[in-house]
């Protein structure tokens, strides 16, 4: 890699980042190296920019910043050996020990060894990537505990309102105008998600479709050398149509095979794993079954409602449940072994979410107006305390609110928007 190109990239990035306008997200960080991971366009780069600006405000100089995006086409062909050339190029420009900000570093094989060497040398270093494999056990072992992981999700509803400068404090929500603005933004959020760059788009569907194509073709198909693109596309479509329901590898393999030719269960397992690696899908397991079923029959949620909505015709219930799932993952965390949020399904009795840490059981129901629907949702929450400890039981709706009493206490019926605004 030519050092002159590296110098040019370093200097141009410094000039751009120092004055880049940003919406500041809440992001509490300790004094350690970080790996920021999340789906493409969730805002990882902007989190790096925000951190850079915070450090400049704290007294650092922009000349101390070495920011590189490995999706910059000028760095095509960058290899592991070029990391040393990068450091040499910076040293020839500045007499500082740089703070390293390395964006989409998963594109470079062997990056983790360089990151470990820099951390051992007491460099300040922040890294982003769009691949959950970056945080695999093997890589984290190589990094030697020098880094903390930070999941970067698309905007929460609070962040959407903050970005659009829509007040959402209790007093504003009591006024007709204040409430209508917040509810309109909530409705848009449920349907089109929170990818930061999508918010200002006039044609949101076009933007989201383009983003999905980059994830589907680039981060999943090309990266994993998938030849049967049709099978992958059909599998993702079927998962989207099944968001609210558990689905097995066997069923996915059978459905895809009827359309695209024979696809084996191991192939489907690999495809699902690739989608998780790219942060397109997040898995939820059943707390009520044995290990084999925990792994093979799961629920899957999409990291952003806008992408999910590309596949749905009338998906208001699925979209609302997906919003709740993502907020629970923000609050309680999510990784490949996720044991913080579950669903419950046993003997025909299903509860959408269960959070063991809070002993909290949750149902999602778009509307409770239909008597049979209300009875079904309430029944699930009246039965669960017989098998799992529940100190809180909640039904999240689109915009209904009341309380229901039974022998185990109270079931809250809460508008999802109200809960979203109370958290994060």
- Dihedral (CA of 203, 205, 207, 210) sign: negative
Which of 414, 391, 410 shows the shortest CA–CA distance to 401? 414
Mean pLDDT of 383-402: 94
**Structure token digits, residue 67:** 């920011």
pLDDT at residue number 144 = 78
Judged by average pLDDT, the poorest of 44-48, 136-140, 201-205, 329-333 is: 136-140
d(CA 316, CA 321): 9
**If you write DSSP's letter for every residue of 388-413 in order, what string do you get?**
S--SEEEEEESS--EEEEETTEEEEE
Mean pLDDT of 183-191: 94
Residue appearing with tokens 């809440």: 26
Q: In what order do the strands lie in the sheet with 247-248?
A: 247-248, 297-302, 281-286, 342-346, 349-355, 360-364, 392-397, 409-415, 402-406
pLDDT at residue number 309 = 97
Residue appearing with tokens 């192939």: 267
- Does residue 265 register a pLDDT over 70? yes
Residue appearing with tokens 């509307």: 367
Each residue's pLDDT tens digit, 12-61: 999 999 888 889 898 888 778 899 989 999 999 999 999 999 999 999 99
| Average pLDDT of every residue of the chain | 92
Mean pLDDT of 104-124: 91
Which of 160, 10, 162, 132 shows the shortest CA–CA distance to 72? 10
d(CA 169, CA 159): 13
Label residue 348 by pLDDT band (50, 70, 90). Answer: confident
pLDDT at residue number 91 = 97
Each residue's pLDDT tens digit, 284-302: 999 999 988 999 999 999 9
Each residue's pLDDT tens digit, 219-258: 899 989 999 999 999 999 999 999 999 999 999 999 999 9
pLDDT at residue number 164 = 92
pLDDT at residue number 371 = 84
Q: What is the DSSP letter of 175?
A: S
- Dihedral (CA of 135, 137, 143, 147) sign: positive
pLDDT at residue number 29 = 83
- Counting residues of the chain whose pLDDT is more than 70, the rounded percentage is 96
pLDDT at residue number 9 = 97
Residue appearing with tokens 């960080």: 29
Each residue's pLDDT tens digit, 7-23: 999 999 999 998 888 89
pLDDT at residue number 12 = 96
pLDDT at residue number 46 = 93
- Does residue 396 register a pLDDT over 90? yes
Label residue 174 by pLDDT band (50, 70, 90). Answer: low
Mean pLDDT of 352-365: 97
**20 SS3 class:** coil
pLDDT at residue number 339 = 84
Q: Is 233 exposed, middle or buried (0-12, 13-18, 19+ CB in 10 A)?
A: middle
**Structure token digits, residue 253:** 């393999």
Secondary structure E strands in 114-212: 125-129, 147-151
Each residue's pLDDT tens digit, 67-105: 999 999 999 999 999 999 999 999 999 999 999 999 999
- Counting residues of the chain whose pLDDT is more than 90, the rounded percentage is 75
């Amino acid at each position: 890699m030519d050092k002159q190109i590296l110098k040019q990239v370093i200097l141009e990035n410094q000039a751009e980042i120092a004055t880049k306008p940003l919406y500041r997200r809440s992001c509490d960080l300790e004094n350690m190296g970080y790996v920021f991971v999340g789906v493409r366009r969730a805002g990882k780069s902007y989190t790096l920019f925000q951190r850079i600006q915070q450090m400049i405000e704290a007294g650092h100089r922009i000349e101390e910043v070495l920011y590189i995006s490995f999706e910059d086409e000028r760095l095509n062909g960058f290899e592991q050996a070029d990391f040393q050339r990068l450091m040499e190029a910076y040293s020839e420009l500045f007499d500082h020990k740089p703070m390293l900000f390395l964006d989409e570093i998963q594109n470079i094989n062997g990056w983790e060894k360089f990151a470990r060497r820099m951390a051992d040398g007491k460099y300040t270093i922040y890294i982003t990537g769009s691949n959950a494999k970056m945080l695999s056990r093997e890589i984290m072992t190589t990094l030697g505990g020098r880094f903390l992981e930070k999941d970067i999700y698309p905007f929460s509803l609070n962040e959407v309102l903050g970005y659009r400068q829509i007040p959402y404090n209790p007093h504003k929500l009591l006024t007709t105008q204040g409430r209508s603005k917040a509810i309109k933004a909530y409705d848009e959020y449920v349907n089109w998600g929170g990818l930061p760059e999508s918010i200002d788009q006039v044609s949101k569907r076009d933007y989201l479709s383009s983003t999905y194509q980059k994830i589907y073709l680039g981060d999943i198909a090309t990266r994993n050398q998938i030849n049967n693109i049709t099978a992958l596309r059909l599998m993702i479509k079927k998962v989207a149509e099944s968001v609210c329901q558990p689905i097995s590898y066997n069923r996915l393999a059978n459905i895809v095979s009827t359309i695209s030719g024979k696809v084996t269960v191991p192939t489907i397992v690999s495809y699902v794993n690739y989608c998780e690696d790219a942060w397109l899908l997040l898995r939820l397991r059943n707390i009520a079954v044995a290990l084999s079923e925990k792994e093979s029959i799961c629920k899957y949620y999409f990291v952003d409602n806008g992408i999910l909505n590309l596949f749905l015709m009338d998906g208001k219930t699925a979209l609302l449940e997906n919003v709740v799932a993502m907020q629970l993952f923000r609050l309680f965390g999510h990784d490949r072994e996720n044991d913080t949020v579950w669903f419950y399904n046993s003997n025909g009795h299903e509860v959408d979410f269960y959070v063991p840490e809070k002993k909290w059981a949750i149902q999602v129901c778009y509307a409770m107006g239909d008597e049979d629907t209300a009875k079904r949702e309430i029944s699930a929450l009246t039965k669960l305390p017989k098998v799992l400890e529940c100190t809180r039981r909640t039904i999240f709706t689109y915009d209904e609110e009341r309380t229901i009493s039974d022998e185990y206490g109270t079931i809250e019926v809460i508008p999802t928007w109200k809960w979203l605004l109370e958290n994060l």
